[in-house]
Amino acid sequence: MQDLRLRKSWSQYDLADESQLRQALVSNIEAEKANPTLLSLHKIASALGVHVAELMLPQGTVLAQGAKPAATVRKKGAKKRPGRPLKPLPR
């Protein structure tokens, strides 16, 4: 979060003002001394112009838009195993 704030050349007071949170809370979140609520994270993310997920990912991680999870890679020549048949639900 601190790196996103510094990219905007904002102080903790600036971020607190923009997110309508207390500066002490912003400081404690950056120092990992506080566990912010989802609402606080949303306010911070909105003020910084990012997604909430970007606040929670390790520093330097970039979110890809529209990315799909990576597929499992099978060994060359391996056959696809058939799935199990569904069991009927008890009545």
Please identify which residue in the block is written with the tokens 């007071």.
Answer: 13
Calculate the dihedral angle through the C-alpha atoms of 83, 68, 58, 3, rounding to the nearest 10 degrees: -170
Six-digit token string for 56: 């929670």
pTM above 0.75, yes or no: no
CATH superfamily label, 2-56: lambda repressor-like DNA-binding domains (1.10.260.40)
What pLDDT, on a 0 to 100 scale, did the predictor assign at position 82?
66
What pLDDT, on a 0 to 100 scale, did the predictor assign at position 5?
93
pLDDT tens for the chain, residues 1 to 91? 899 999 999 999 999 999 999 999 999 999 999 999 999 999 999 999 998 988 888 776 766 665 544 444 455 666 666 666 767 777 7
